[in-house]
Amino acid sequence: MAVIDLEGVIRIYHVGDIEVQALAGVDLRIESGEFVALMGASGPGKSTMLNILGCLDRPSSGRYRFEGVDVAERSEPELARLRSERIGFVFQSFNLLARTTAVENVALPLFYAANGPANRSERRARAWKALASLGLAARELNTPSQLSGGQQQRVAIARALINVPGVIRG
């Protein structure tokens, strides 16, 4: 079964009286374990595609199945749980919480995951292990302002991986 399966996905935005077609009939199938990169010039719909794949936006038409589940049939709370548990996000600007330590930033998705560890010490231990795997064990108590750009990016990657997602969206 494909992790991601798009069939004829179209996304249209309305800006006043103007209709902008960001995606025009996209078909895409990504199997488990595949690595896929979207590349291209500014404006052809890469961000729109990633927002749909990450369940942050919905197609105007067409079908999107994530791990065999038709995303259109899911409520917003169900999509939020799917994003929290099955999709890891690494944002371009990292979106780390400024007053929060690296280990707390990484542990945050565990707090929101329905099947995540209930106690704080287990969340911190898992987050520390994720940081350590990326060479940041000694930086666990640093806030983002105390980290270099590359270190901040690795904290964001650790956070994206903490729930062992089926998909990582960058």
> Is residue 36 included in any domain, yes or no?
yes
Q: What is the pLDDT of residues 14-26, one digit of tens each?
A: 888 999 999 999 9
> Is residue 107 included in any domain, yes or no?
yes
Identify the domain boundary among 55, 74, 93: 74
> Is residue 11 included in any domain, yes or no?
yes
Q: Residue 7 maps to which CATH number?
A: 3.40.50.300
> Is residue 117 included in any domain, yes or no?
yes
Identify the domain boundary among 56, 74, 92: 74
> Is residue 88 included in any domain, yes or no?
no
Range from 44-48, 57-61, 66-70, 144-148 carrying the lowest mean pLDDT: 44-48
| Together in a domain, 11 and 55 | yes
**Predicted model pTM:** 0.67
| Together in a domain, 69 and 112 | no
| Together in a domain, 9 and 66 | yes
| Together in a domain, 112 and 165 | yes
> Is residue 54 included in any domain, yes or no?
yes
> Is residue 22 included in any domain, yes or no?
yes
The values of phi and psi at residue 159, to 5°, are -65, -40
114: confidence class by pLDDT, cuts 50, 70, 90: low
- Tally of CA atoms within 13 A in the half-sphere of 11 that contains its CB: 20
| Together in a domain, 16 and 67 | yes
> Is residue 8 included in any domain, yes or no?
yes
- 3-class secondary structure, 170: coil
| Number of structural domains the chain divides into | 2
Identify the domain boundary among 74, 92, 118: 74
Specify the DSSP element, H or E, that contains 50: helix 46-53
Q: What is the pLDDT of residues 54-92, one digit of tens each?
A: 999 999 999 999 999 999 989 999 998 888 888 887 777
The DSSP annotation for 62-112 comes to EEEEETTEEGGGS-HHHHHHHHHHHEEE--TT----TTS-HHHHHHHHHHH
pLDDT averaged over every residue in the chain? 89
Instruction: Quote the domain boundaries for residue 163.
Output: 102-169
Cα–Cα distance for residue pair 130/90, rounded to 1 Å: 15
